[in-house]
Amino acid sequence: MEILIVGGGAAGLMAAVCAKERAPGAKVTILEAGPRVGKKLLSTGNGRCNLTNTGAAPASYAPAGGLRALERMPPARVMEKFERMGLQLRLEGEGRVYPASDAASSVLDTLRLTAAHLGVEEVTGFCAVRAQAARGRFLLEDGEGKRVAGDRLILATGGRAASKVTGYDLARGLGHSVTPLRPGLLPVKTDGAGIKGLNGVRVKCAATLLRGERAVLRQEGEVLFKDFGLSGIAVFQLSRALARLGGDAIALDLLPGFTEREAGEFLRARAETLSWRETDAFLLGMFHKNLARNLLAAAGIGPGLAGEVRAERIALLARLVKHWRHAVTGTPGFESAQVTVGGVPMDEVEERAMASRVCPGLYLAGEILDVDGPCGGYNLNWAWASGAVAGESAAAQ
């Protein structure tokens, strides 16, 4: 039996290893468009590769669904799989798992060495542009007219995020639909009001995505100000909800441990205690000096002494500190995205086997599917889990 895997990324490599382990006599071939497999894997986690998260579960992902592949291949089994292949792991905060070497290259080397040992073949420079299914076989053709045929086909081409792929066209050609594709896990552009001069400033706070006055999602963490808008882990998490649900503003809560009333009382007491300070130094010690300057300007607090600031200005400052609203104007696009939101709908896939419901012998894994998770190893966990299940299932048939 010949199993073809289109895509030599995380999902494709794991699918190849698991298929060959399940059916040692099968011919398993990875067809990779680039000059080498696993290139994108090397840049994950800032080169460290946060390869899974102990908290990853079906409820962690969108859209909400069964995602039964995650039940067959939970994070514990993903970790066990890598350890059996010789990769030492280290658990860090918030359930994040990294290679003990702190190098993404160790993860890729582990997969490639194991695949080569098992007899998996790699064909690079093969950019599949057409796929046909006929008489129980699959025929793939690249842009130069080269053809490859196999008995089973696994599409693990990845998404649009930071890459150019044809996987969605291949899936459509084999009978699948594709939901709208949008960038996720990336910065958000804002109208610029209030953020002038803040490029590079970081703050720990809570960020809330708003549609009108309704809160769509709230995340606590770091926010990084950029010339064009907002970035940082908290904003990255909101960007997934922005892609799926929309939103027109992000509100920053710079004192998430306070209510607005408590924030007002705190600032009034601070003004009394530091009444001798010039107003431009009133918030120094609480926030970065540039952030403090912008907040004071937005509250209409001009030159003078802190003790002379009127009560209504203190109340407005408290409101800003708790609900500093920034209008959303868009995102930088797929080139800045870590994940694609959208893809082949999961209701077109038999989840326990990752098998197509519309094309017998076809399996799908990884980012080509309409599944995305938060930062912290969740998306790589989905790639490993869905790839492993697709590979095992294709070989079992």
Question: C-alpha distances in angstroms, 270 versus 64, 245, 259, 321, 323?
Answer: 46, 40, 16, 14, 20
- CB 105, CB 42: distance < 8 Å: yes
Length of the chain equals: 397
- CA dihedral 273→278→281→286, nearest 10 degrees, is 20
**Amino acid (one-letter) located at 14:** M
> pLDDT (tens digit, 0 to 9) for every residue of the chain, 397 residues total?
999 999 999 999 999 999 999 999 999 999 999 999 999 999 998 899 999 999 999 999 998 666 889 999 999 999 999 999 999 999 999 999 999 999 999 999 999 999 999 999 999 999 999 999 988 899 999 999 999 999 999 999 999 875 566 799 999 999 999 999 999 999 999 998 889 999 999 999 999 999 999 999 999 999 999 999 999 999 999 999 999 999 999 999 999 999 999 999 999 999 999 999 999 999 999 999 999 999 999 999 999 999 999 999 999 999 999 999 999 999 999 999 999 999 999 999 999 999 999 999 999 999 999 999 999 999 999 999 999 999 999 999 7
**Amino acid (one-letter) located at 257:** G
The pTM is what? 0.94
From CA 323, how far away is CA 254, in angstroms rounded?
8
Q: Kindly list the structural domains of the chain, giving each domain's residue range(s) and its CATH number in brackets, ordered by start.
A: 2-182+335-396 (3.50.50.60), 187-332 (no CATH)
Backbone angles phi, psi at 145, to 5 degrees: 90, 0
pLDDT digits (tens, 9 = 90+) for 98-132: 999 999 999 999 999 999 999 999 999 999 999 99
Query: Taking Cα atoms as reference points, which of 245, 269, 249, 255 lies closest to residue 220?
Result: 255
From CA 275, how far away is CA 302, in angstroms rounded?
15
Tell me the two tokens of residue 249: 């503003």
Please, what's the b/e burial string for 185-211 (b: 16 or more CB within 10 A of its CB; e: otherwise)? bbbbbbeeebbeebeebebebbbbbbe
Residue 15 is inside which H or E element, if any? helix 10-22
DSSP 8-state code for residue 195: T
Tell me, letter by letter, the H, E, C secondary structure of 132-179. Answer: EEECCEEEEEECCCCEEEECEEEECCCCCCCCCCCHHHHHHHCCCCCC
Pairing outcome for strands 137-142 and 128-134: antiparallel
pLDDT confidence of residue 65: 66
From CA 359, how far away is CA 156, in angstroms rounded?
16
Residue 329 is inside which H or E element, if any? strand 324-330
Q: C-alpha angle 375/376/379, rounded to 5°?
A: 70
* 158 contacts: CB under 8 Å, gap ≥ 6: 7, 9, 11, 40, 165, 167, 340, 366, 367, 368
From CA 211, how far away is CA 248, in angstroms rounded?
5
From CA 338, how far away is CA 373, in angstroms rounded?
11
Peptide bond into 374 cis (omega under 30): no
From CA 42, how far away is CA 110, in angstroms rounded?
12
CA–chain centroid gap for 376, Å, is 8
Tell me the two tokens of residue 268: 């009034």
From CA 52, how far away is CA 122, in angstroms rounded?
25
Tell me, letter by letter, the H, E, C secondary structure of 253-300. Answer: ECCCCCCHHHHHHHHHHHHHHCCCCEHHHCCECCECHHHHHHHHHHCC
pLDDT digits (tens, 9 = 90+) for 262-317: 999 999 999 999 999 999 999 999 999 999 999 999 999 999 999 999 999 999 99
